[in-house]
């Protein structure tokens, strides 16, 4: 695989897949300081309770925790500061329309390295109800049970 196109996932938001239906995904760049990039490369990113909002024609991630770089001393930024997403204006306006009209939410699903760039995978999501979560859990356990039975049949 070419070095420029290889993706290395740094962090995934597993809670997002549990709490939301992901309708659409898109890739966005993120504006970070130098010590934050080093910290991301070290894998110290937490996406658990983060979300995106669109204000004044800009997409901003809130709640993304990037731990301070150990050797960064005075150059370290606040770990919870809002971070600007790098998207085209027409993408931002399209997402703004969907979020306002359809009641959808923008959630960061993962942070990964694409070559030497830090990218964020955004998901246009719709919230799950409790019965949806139970149904998904039941399907998952049924699939696990079927897989277990198939492996047992292969043994004999």
The pLDDT tens digits of the residues spanning 145-155 come to: 998 888 887 77
The pLDDT value given to residue 155: 73
25 pLDDT higher than 70: yes
18 pLDDT higher than 70: yes
Check if the beta carbon of residue 59 is closer than 8 Å to that of residue 28: yes
For 79-130, what is each residue's pLDDT tens digit? Answer: 788 999 999 999 999 999 988 888 789 999 999 999 889 999 999 998 888 7
For 67-92, what is each residue's pLDDT tens digit? Answer: 888 877 777 778 788 999 999 999 99
Q: For the chain, report the end-to-end CA distance as a whole number of angstroms.
A: 40
The pLDDT value given to residue 113: 92
Beta strands per DSSP E along 51-131: 51-55, 58-62, 65-66, 83-86, 105-114, 117-127
Query: How far apart are the C-alpha atoms of 93 and 88, rounded to whole Å?
Result: 9
Domains of the chain, with CATH numbers?
7-128 (2.40.280.10)
């Amino acid at each position: 695989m070419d070095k420029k196109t290889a993706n290395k996932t740094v962090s995934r938001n597993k809670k997002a897949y549990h709490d939301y239906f992901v309708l659409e995904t898109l890739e966005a760049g993120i504006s970070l300081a130098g010590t934050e990039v080093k910290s991301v490369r070290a894998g110290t990113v937490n996406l658990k309770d983060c979300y995106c909002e669109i204000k004044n024609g800009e997409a901003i991630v809130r709640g993304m925790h990037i731990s301070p770089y150990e050797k960064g001393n005075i150059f370290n930024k606040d770990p919870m500061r809002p971070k600007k997403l790098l998207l085209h204006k027409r993408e931002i306006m399209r997402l703004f329309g969907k979020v306002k009209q359809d009641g959808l939410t923008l959630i960061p699903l993962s942070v990964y390295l694409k070559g030497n760039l830090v990218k964020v995978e955004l998901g246009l999501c719709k919230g799950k109800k409790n019965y949806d979560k139970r149904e998904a859990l039941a399907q998952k356990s049924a699939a696990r049970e079927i897989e277990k039975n198939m492996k047992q049949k292969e043994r004999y």
